[in-house]
Homo-oligomer: A and B are copies of this chain.
Amino acid sequence: MENRRSFLRKAAITGAVIGLSDSIVASAMSIPQSSKIALRERNIILFQGDSITDAGRNKENASPNTPQMMGSGYVLQAAGALLHQYAEKKLVIHNKGISGNKVFQLAERWDRDCIDLKPDVLSILIGVNDFWHTKGGNYAGTAAVYETDYRALLQRTKKALPNVRLIIGEPFAVKGIRAVDDGWFPEFDEYRTIAYKLATEFDAVFIPYQKIFTEAQKRAPGAYWTGDGVHASLAGAQLMASAWMQTVK
């Protein structure tokens, strides 16, 4: 406890000086150095997911490492941090998130948008639509379908790319903010649990976004971090990126 307090004090002091205070993330997650993904020179990093990852990126003719490809969400903030912090490593960063995607839609485009890119590091954030879209009656998937589809996708990925290092983001929803009413719970929590379970199963680094957004609400209201309970605001995107940056070294 004393060690942690002493560390946090040091972090706060240094953070103030170097311009980053990451107390929210620090209180929500702590990944041991040994569990972080060691980035290597010319590593290819791929972000995959739905609209939260997509964030309005240019899907026509954007190149890796450009703001155009990153969109305006957490991927842009994380990519900026990666390219700055690990400048010597000449990383190649892709964003292939697509709005509205559920796991089965990732699977449909997985060869082109993942396997063919040969990522060394693959970050996936998927699941909120797998639940959300059932609410409108246009999608009949269940948590069990999410689990089965997601596991199959990860197996297929590991088979094609045995050395890929995985990062799995927890699907999250901020209760009380627009789209996210009480009716989401506890059912939505199953999707979060499945993501965690699969992260363990596939030796992925897990990002507990739900807890991160919960911690963040001690600093500012939910609507500050997300406009609709599902999509991050600029503040929320930075929060997510800061958490994401904990997964690598």
**Smallest Cβ-Cβ distance to A68: which chain B residue:** B72
Q: Decide: B238 and A83 in contact? CB cutoff 8 A.
A: yes
Q: Mark A216-249, 1 if CB is under 8 A from B, else 0.
A: 1001100010000000011101110110011001
Kindly identify which residue among B7, B80, B238 contacts A84, using a CB–CB cutoff of 8 Å.
Answer: B238
Q: Does A21 contact B (CB under 8 A)?
A: yes
Question: Cβ of A125: which chain B residues have Cβ within 8 Å of it?
Answer: none
Bound form: Cα–Cα A239–B87 in Å: 10
Question: Cβ of A103: which chain B residues have Cβ within 8 Å of it?
Answer: none
Question: Cβ of A80: which chain B residues have Cβ within 8 Å of it?
Answer: 77, 234-235, 237-238, 241
Say how many copies of this protein the assembly contains. Answer: 2
How many chain A residues touch the partner (CB < 8 A)?
A: 50
Q: Does A109 contact B (CB under 8 A)?
A: no
- Given A22-B85, A72-B72, A76-B76, 17 other A-B contacts at CB below 8 A? A11-B17, A18-B22, A18-B26, A18-B242, A19-B25, A20-B20, A24-B84, A55-B67, A67-B234, A67-B237, A70-B234, A76-B234, A79-B234, A83-B235, A84-B238, A84-B239, A87-B216
Interface of A is mostly: helix
Question: Cβ of A65: which chain B residues have Cβ within 8 Å of it?
Answer: 233-235
Which A residues contact B (CB, under 8 angstroms)?
7, 10-11, 14-22, 24-26, 33, 55, 65-68, 70, 72-73, 76-77, 79-81, 83-85, 87-88, 90, 216, 219-220, 224, 233-235, 237-239, 241-242, 245-246, 249
